[in-house]
Amino acid sequence: MCPSIYRHITTPIFYPNASPHLGHLYSSLLADVQHRWNQLQLYNSKFTTGTDEHGLKIQQAAIRNGYADPLKFVDTLTPKFKSLDAQYDINYTNFIRTTDIKHIKNVKKLWEKCFQNGHIYKDIHQGWYSVSDETFYPESKIIKLENDDKEVKYVNTETNNEVTYHKETNYFFKLSDFQNQLIDLHSRKGLNAWIFPESKRLSLLNELKSTNLSDLSISRPSERLSWAISVPNDSTQSIYVWFDALTNYISSLGPLENLYNSDNNNNTMLKYWSQTTHIIGKDIMKFHCWYWPSFLLSAGLPLPKRVIIHDHWLSQGVKMSKSLGNVIDPMELPLQYGKDIIRWSILENSQLNHDNNFKNEDLSKCRNIFISKWGNLINRCCNAKSKFDLSRAVNKTYGNISSKDDFLNIWQEQSLSLVENEQVDSIFNQLESFQQTYSVKMETFQYNHIIKDIWKLIDQLNLFIQTTKPWNKTNTNQRRQDAIIFLTMDISRILSILTQPIIPQLSNKFLDRIDVCPERRSFRDAKFGTDHTYGANANDPSKNVPIERKVASYEY
Ligand code: ME8
């Protein structure tokens, strides 16, 4: 462990009103890779996910499904989110449910603090509410629709979901008081930016600058919203689900009061909190980037570190929806490909700031490429038939080298063709540029770019093996053979270490295959020529299982 560095990563907490879909897996996967990346650097890392169990949306879904008690209803669905995580090795450290007592206490505490600080007041509220989006919309965003039977309904133009008109007493939060602080926060740029990617930061900032924020209704009459936390000292009102839900990010770490202890050295909760990264989808930006920091500022609490916003997955080129029947259930994806292949393919075919189109063919394509490129590379260098001695290459012939230059000195003793030399040069250049950019790409969630870099290197290594033909009888010079095998396998070792966050099982099977010891698989070990202890049983014939089986069951 790196005792001084703390990281906390969160997914949105999901509505357990239906089974999880691909979008839920995507948020979780982005967070899981980041958590594992933190662990790879030996940081203290926490990863929080969970379920958002209160509110009108859940209350109504429970009734539709024949449950008088909404808790019994969500009790049937929350386990599905946990199963999804288990199925895809989503390695969270905390799973929070908003019905947990410790969370309810925190929500009430946050309310009281905002109230005491003068940012909550009671007033009459009238407006258009969408249960599906759990939000009010302004009059300017409402349109009237009439069907052939002359039935009228009102929808909002942002999500096209139905809205209904309400006039009632609510508590309000003085969001307008925080407009200038929000503008300052979202004006932070570059490494200090609070929102990533930049396009989202700019759009939220521009909107903030061009609108006057209205105060936010943060309660509903209890007779309309019974499935909710009661407003402290006023049981006629229930707390708005978003005020409740956002507080989960603190509850997962501990009691809210702990954050008021500003002695950072002794306050572990505060250390995690100030290094919190929220991952969210684009439809919930305002809740996280406007409302959430305002609640925290109002209560005098420190802010999390940043918010990462991703776009959505489409299915058959369009938004997933139950009525179109194109919702992708991640539990139903063809698991025979292996969960890591699915993780890799989802991340390879997506970018944060684009909607991504899901295609089943991408999974089989991904699996085939794994077999033909990476699997084959390892197989060629480590199999009983080839008689290469990886252990000798790693421990003896190249046992003294600790850098690219040491390697090149020995390599140049061989009589080499121009092509071979050029290939070695280009492999090292590619490796260096990959290593220089890897951390930044990880920090900025450019996982697809990392994957692209990896394929470039694997392609070059395959080409190198093909050109140098170490198995060729005319090339049996042992030092030359060792050089080829060492270069190829040491870079494969580095790639396997660095892909652990993305494909935790498969990468470790690769590392097991070449006998890299478990204590030498962290970020600091991912350097050329720094490990001379692996390779002992790489040619063990029992490790030579058919390649298809290897990819499917990770038997490298
Ligand atoms: O919004 N592709 O919960 P939720 C990618 N409970 N992501 C998608 C998506 C898609 N097609 N559809 C939805 C909630 N998402 C609240 C969160 S947090 C304090 C409360 C994402 O279950 C969506 O953007 O409706 C959101 O980030 C997440 O799934 C959860 O959605």
Q: Give the pLDDT of the chain (556 residues) as one tens digit per residue.
A: 666 899 999 999 999 999 999 999 999 999 999 999 999 999 999 999 999 999 999 999 999 999 999 999 999 999 999 999 999 999 999 999 999 999 999 999 999 999 999 999 999 988 899 988 988 898 899 999 998 888 999 999 998 999 999 899 999 999 999 999 999 999 999 989 999 999 999 999 999 999 999 999 999 999 999 999 999 999 999 999 999 999 999 999 999 999 998 777 789 999 999 999 999 999 999 999 999 999 999 999 999 999 999 999 999 889 888 778 889 999 988 777 889 999 999 999 999 999 999 999 999 999 999 888 988 888 888 765 666 788 888 888 888 888 888 888 888 887 678 888 899 999 999 999 999 999 999 999 999 999 999 999 999 999 999 998 887 766 567 888 888 889 999 999 999 999 999 999 999 998 998 899 999 999 999 999 999 999 877 666 566 544 444 544 444 3
Distance 59 CA to ligand 1 centre (A): 18
Helical (H) or strand (E) element with 239 = strand 234-239
Atom of ligand 1 nearest to the CA of 282: 24
DSSP assignment of 453-522 equals: HHHHHHHHHHHHHHHH-TTSGGG--HHHHHHHHHHHHHHHHHHHHHTTTTSHHHHHHHHHHTT--GGG-S
Q: Say how far apart CA 59 and CA 479 lie, in whole Å.
A: 72
HSE (side-chain half, CA atoms, 13 Å) at 109: 20
For 153, the 3-state DSSP assignment is: strand
What DSSP designation does 445 have? T
Q: How far is the CA of 483 from the centre of ligand 1 (A)?
A: 50
Pairing assessment for the beta strands 2-10 and 276-281 based on DSSP bridges = parallel
Q: Evaluate: CB of 308 within 6 angstroms of ligand 1.
A: no
Nearest CA to ligand 1 atom 3: 14
Q: Distance between CA atoms of 302 and 149, rounded to whole angstroms?
A: 54
CA atoms of 209 and 443, how far apart (whole Å): 28
pTM: 0.93
Atom 14 of ligand 1, nearest CA residue: 14
Cα separations in angstroms, 7 against 10, 162, 216, 272, 506? 10, 40, 31, 6, 25
Between the CA of 16 and the centroid of ligand 1 the distance, in Å, is 11
Closest C-alpha among 511, 551, 521, 200 to residue 345: 551
| Cα 67 to ligand 1 centroid, rounded to whole Å | 24
Ligand 1 contact via 15 beta carbon (within 6 Å): yes
Rounded to two decimals, the ipTM of the complex is: 0.99
Q: Is the CB of 16 under 6 A from ligand 1?
A: no
Rounded to 5 degrees, what angle do the CA atoms 417, 422, 426 make?
155
Distance of CA 171 to the CA centre of its chain: 35
